[in-house]
Amino acid sequence: MRSLIKYLKRYTKECILGPLFKLLEATFELFVPLVVAAMIDTGIATGDKGFLLRQGILLVVLALIGLTCSITAQYFAAKAAVHFAGDLRHRLFAHIQRLPHSQQDRLGSDTLITRMTSDINQVQTGVNLTLRLLLRSPFIVFGAMVMACTIDLRSAGIFLGVIAALSVVVFGIMLWSIPRYKAVQQRLDQVLGATRENLSGVRVLRAFGRQWQETERFDQRNESLTSFGLFVGRITALMNPLTYVLVNLGLVVLLKTGAVEVDGGVLTQGQVVALVNYLSQILVELVKMANLIINITKSWACGNRIAQLLSTPEESVGTEQQTGEKSSDSVVFDHVSLTYADGGAPALKDISFHVVKNSVFGIIGGTGSGKSSVINLIPGFYHPTDGAVLIDGLSTKLWITDSLRQRIGLVPQKANLFRGTIAENLRWGDPEATEDQLWEALERAQAAEFVRQKELGLQTVVEQGGRNFSGGQRQRLTIARALVRRPEILILDDSASALDYATDAKLRKALRELEDTTVFIVSQRTSSIRFADQILVLEDGQAVGLGTHETLLKTCPVYREIHATQQEQEVGA
């Protein structure tokens, strides 16, 4: 949490002025019991109405000054807290964007969302309350005790006893609750994770009739969060009644002592009222402090979670780029093995192949065979556990990340489109692309026809996730987006699965006509890769075949079986 304080340095002025005006308000508030005591001992005792009127006006002036100081303090505190949270949210979002894929997999998107939203909101509230109350409450408690000492030193001992007892209660509960609130946030992560899974997979849930099972699973996680939150809340809720009990016991003792001293002529009635007011001020401020500490405890736990995420190492950006004579091979896998973090068994084992520039390289295999793992190694999303992946003769670990990825056009398995227009989505590949270049990419991706049929053409609105387009249309638009970049390496990760055979064939023909581009095609259809210059066959993370379509039919049983099965299905259809 301490590491987050640096984000408040830009708002040093607000962080000083906010507490300062609160202290001014508190100073004026400490004079109120003395004014009331004077009204009782002088104005009421002597019947001086003019004195009472003047003192009444003074109370109004003190209240107005206090209100002005309070509003000013709130303004500066809120300004500092909101801007601090905004800066922290920007920094956290940028950090998440630069996290390695392995770290994002390990953390999970549910906890990332929680820390970006709920945790930062809690920290913002904590900063606001801290700037307004952290100095004010102790100042009034200490000031009220000092003022009580100026009235009657013996009675001030009661104040000391009450404050000591309250400190034990407040800080004891605070130390107990800090780790528990962190556990509450972790349970919130689980609830958000279940919610996110259900919302993203709602069609699958309904298709398989799993609504009730998922509702039960959500209820279990929600119940865990609720019950533990109630448990922690009940313990922290003891703070208010305990503080009230202790202060009111002190008030009883003070009234009894004050009555005896008034009878003995040691104190006046106004002074006893002033002492009671000071004790009441202490009560109110300690209750505020108790609530403040609860909020600070929550904020501290959330801040630690944010700081922990910010301390996660970012993706290595590399230090070199290809210079001098380029390699004749576009991509080389040299005895590559890959094990994901906490993944157990290796996803890839001893994979080796060379891909010549401007060739087409196909990758095929069953589900879970490691096809996407191979593809994710090329842009450096993951780095091999053993061996090396070379792009133009240089290891992906050494490439400057931006320089490497500018050379690559990637079309993932899931077609991702973003809210905006078709043109805006295509220009993710190249922000400076002209309309002619956009249409050229659409033509190659076999998407130009349906885009022209749209009334607005390239300015057609794309809804979030591209849900106003069919699956095949989304895939073709994402292929066009990658082509707009004019990449040296184009990767199609099973990105034509929703296309019919005729459209798929036209797409393959257009891709073979690309100049100065090495194309990787990942597919489960042999028809999609049969014309590739080389085909890699994967099974259980291992290479079981490498060669042309004709060679593999003769030498690779796995490829032969896949091809035969698909041929039978096509004939049967």
Q: How many other CB atoms are there within 10 angstroms of residue 94's CB atom?
A: 10
426 and 368, same structural domain? no
Judge whether 468 lies within some domain.
Answer: yes
Mean pLDDT of 89-101: 88
Judge whether 370 lies within some domain.
Answer: yes
CB 479 within 8 A of CB 495: yes
Last residue of one domain, picked from the residues 432, 464, 486: 486
Integer-rounded Cα radius of gyration of the chain: 35
Measured distance CA(356)–CA(360) in Å, rounded: 9
Dump pLDDT digits (tens) for 326-379: 666 789 999 999 988 766 788 899 999 999 988 899 999 888 888 888 998 999
531 and 513, same structural domain? yes
CB 427 within 8 A of CB 420: no
State which amino acid sits at residue 328.
S
Per-residue pLDDT at 255 exceeds 50: yes
Structural domain for 40, as ranges: 2-310
Percent of the chain topping pLDDT 90: 21
pLDDT band (50, 70, 90) for residue 508: confident
Measured distance CA(375)–CA(362) in Å, rounded: 11
494 and 478, same structural domain? no
Beta strand pairing call for 518-522 and 489-493: parallel
Mean pLDDT of 189-208: 81
- H helical segments located in 134-210: 136-151, 153-200, 202-207
497 and 385, same structural domain? yes
What average pLDDT does the chain have?
Answer: 84
CB 348 within 8 A of CB 541: yes
Long-range interactions of 128-131: CB distance < 8 A, separation 24+: 128/77, 128/78, 128/80, 128/81, 129/292, 129/295, 129/296, 130/292, 130/296, 130/299, 131/14, 131/15, 131/18, 131/19, 131/22, 131/73, 131/76, 131/77, 131/80, 131/81
> Token pair 């801040």 is at which residue?
303
Mean pLDDT of 164-189: 78
How many separate domains does the chain show? 3
Beta bridge partners of 522: 363, 493
Structure tokens given for 496: 């034509």
Mean pLDDT of 402-406: 86
Distances (CA, A) of 171 to 177, 289, 346: 10, 11, 49
Long-range interactions of 195-202: CB distance < 8 A, separation 24+: 196/109, 196/110, 196/113
Give the CATH number of the domain where residue 237 resides.
1.20.1560.10
Judge whether 315 lies within some domain.
Answer: no
Dump pLDDT digits (tens) for 45-76: 777 888 888 888 998 998 899 899 999 999 99
Among 326, 70, 291, 26, smallest CA distance to 174 is for 291
Q: How many other CB atoms are there within 10 angstroms of residue 315's CB atom?
A: 17
Among 366, 502, 473, 491, smallest CA distance to 415 is for 473
Measured distance CA(267)–CA(270) in Å, rounded: 8
Mean pLDDT of 289-306: 81
Separate counts of helices (H) and strands (E) for the chain? 22, 12
pLDDT of residue 343: 64
pLDDT of residue 393: 85
Dump pLDDT digits (tens) for 435-466: 999 999 999 988 888 999 988 889 999 998 88
422 and 541, same structural domain? no
Distances (CA, A) of 439 to 158, 426, 481, 489: 84, 10, 11, 20
pLDDT of residue 176: 80
36 and 163, same structural domain? yes
Judge whether 274 lies within some domain.
Answer: yes
Measured distance CA(536)–CA(516) in Å, rounded: 22
186 and 224, same structural domain? yes
Last residue of one domain, picked from the residues 288, 310, 332: 310
184 and 45, same structural domain? yes
pLDDT band (50, 70, 90) for residue 1: low
Measured distance CA(479)–CA(484) in Å, rounded: 9
Per-residue pLDDT at 98 exceeds 80: yes
292 and 238, same structural domain? yes
Judge whether 434 lies within some domain.
Answer: yes
Judge whether 535 lies within some domain.
Answer: yes
Per-residue pLDDT at 167 exceeds 50: yes
Judge whether 231 lies within some domain.
Answer: yes
207 and 137, same structural domain? yes
93 and 208, same structural domain? yes
> Token pair 């070379």 is at which residue?
390
Measured distance CA(82)–CA(128) in Å, rounded: 8
Judge whether 558 lies within some domain.
Answer: yes
pLDDT of residue 326: 60
Per-residue pLDDT at 205 exceeds 90: no
Give the CATH number of the domain where residue 442 resides.
3.40.50.300
pLDDT of residue 324: 44
3-state secondary structure of 522: strand
Mean pLDDT of 12-31: 89
Last residue of one domain, picked from the residues 486, 503, 525: 486
Structure tokens given for 516: 């100065």
Structure tokens given for 298: 């929550």
137 and 15, same structural domain? yes
pLDDT band (50, 70, 90) for residue 569: low
Measured distance CA(552)–CA(531) in Å, rounded: 12
Mean pLDDT of 533-558: 91
Structure tokens given for 90: 């920007």
